[in-house]
Amino acid sequence: MSVLKKLSLRGFLSILCALGVILAVGISLAAVKAQEAAPGDRIYVVCHVDVAPGTSAASGTKMLQQYVVDTRKDKGAIRIESYVQIDRTNHFSVVEVWQDRAAFEAHENAAHTKQFRQDIQPLLGSPFDERLHHLLE
């Protein structure tokens, strides 16, 4: 009988330890989540990029694709996507979601962002049309 009691006590203590670990992990995750910027602090960016009709849309496409790949690695980048207009393959839109204004500004000052804008500049048919937004709640 005492062996059974010991096994039961060991089992109970194991379960109790496991629950303690689960609780500690949950509290840690909650603390990390609380430190992240609230959804209301996020910056939503919509940028229209128009490549001049006489230039190669393929070059603009490749540059934008690389820009998206590089930008997704930036700290604070939540979502980055690029789109091409269906009936005008030289018209692109880039949609970005940033954790907060500081993350967006760090991205704006990143070497890859500056290099992209410098490289695509000769292909542009119009200036960048970049607009920053907050979520309307």
Residue 51 has pLDDT above 60, yes or no: yes
Average pLDDT rounded to a whole number, residues 50-79: 92
Q: Is the pLDDT of residue 18 over 90?
A: no
Please tell me whether the overall predicted TM-score, pTM, comes out greater than 0.75 for this model.
no
Over residues 50-74, the mean pLDDT reads 91
How far apart are alpha carbons 8 and 131 in whole angstroms?
64
